[in-house]
Amino acid sequence: MNYTKKKKIEKIAVTIGEPGGIGPEVAVKAACSKDVRSICSPVLIGSRAPVERALKMLELPLRLRSIETPEESRPAADFLEIIETGPSGEAGFKSGTPTAAGGKASYEYIKLAASLAMEGRMAAVCTAPISKEALGMAGIKYPGHTEMLARLTGTSDFAMMLVGGPLRVLLVTTHAAIKNVPRLIKKEAVAGKIMLAARAARMLGIRRPRIAVCGLNPHAGEAGLFGSEEALQIAPAIREARDKGINVQGPVAADALFRKAYAGQVDIVVAMYHDQGLIPLKMVAFEKGVNVTVGLPIIRTSPDHGTAYDIAWKGKADPASMIEAMKMALSLKL
């Protein structure tokens, strides 16, 4: 994917994620990338100890410089900058497994990064992976970054959009059990996500977006034979969006729609649930997929992968998705 470079070098807040996972490693690798440093000044947000440990593990010839505010940032080729928050050491963190300490720390990182962006002191926030299990162990009841950032920024109308290769997929429901999805597919929810898809297109610089909406059921319900959600909830939402001037089609059977999107005939797909949208996207762009939160008053991106505890702290984590997320953050416009 191509990105337009900005003349001014902007600062991006980069949270290091759950310390026991691959977050510190991919954050450090991406922040040191020439592709990233040529377009922005990444400032890590997190505990110092995991970052120093990652630098040592990776044998990177960089020194870590602590700053207290974004205004103190002075980018240099041989330095990596960090605004410290959370625990000062690694007490309670455990490599390769979620912990309550890691969950609490990762939440503190996100809170500070969001606050700095809300104050206009950071151009964007790019978040390394966190663990829902670790958050729960710490008593923090959020299903993920998206809902957490919505609460921290006072946002009620928001959506998760994944971008990878030729696909852009915005989800109506996110982290919900499959058995609960049908009752969550309501006209108001679908219509709201279609409007957010149009907003996402503007963020991406797409002037005349072609939006298409998946059906929930096989064959988009087959005229009611396989379900009624298409006729009762999804189609009325599409008509409402069209009445507001949105170029949107559907409901379309998901298996046919993703082929059209892959061929470039659709700009943004609105999918009904998590795996309906993410399986095709990860099939074509797992290494470089990017998660964008649409609807926030700040720009936020993240890599499209998790904490990968199985390879954490072994030097094996691929930073490609994190790099892509940082680059995309600089290309988006609110």
What average pLDDT values come out for the chain (334 residues) when binned by 10 residues?
54 97 97 93 96 95 94 92 88 92 96 97 97 95 91 96 96 94 97 98 96 96 88 97 97 96 97 96 91 97 95 96 96 93
DSSP 92: T
Do 1-155+296-334 and 159-292 have matching folds? Answer: yes
Given the structure tokens 């797992």, which residue do they identify? Answer: 286
Dihedral angle computed from the Cα positions of residues 104, 117, 75 and 42, in that order, rounded to the nearest 10 degrees: 60
Q: Report pLDDT for 146.
A: 92
**Under 8 Å between Cβ of 295 and 283:** no
What was the pLDDT predicted at 296?
97
- pLDDT score, position 8: 60
Beta-strand runs (E) in 63-198: 63-67, 79-84, 124-127, 159-164, 167-171
Q: What is the dihedral of CA 179, 184, 185, 188, to 10 degrees?
A: 180
The pLDDT, as a whole number, for residue 4 is: 45
Pairing between strand 300-303 and 290-294? antiparallel
1-155+296-334 CATH fold: Isopropylmalate Dehydrogenase (3.40.718)
Q: Where are the domains of the chain?
A: 1-155+296-334, 159-292
CATH topology of domain 159-292: Isopropylmalate Dehydrogenase (3.40.718)
Burial of 38 (0-12, 13-18, 19+ CB in 10 A): exposed
Look up tokens 């998946």; give the residue. 214
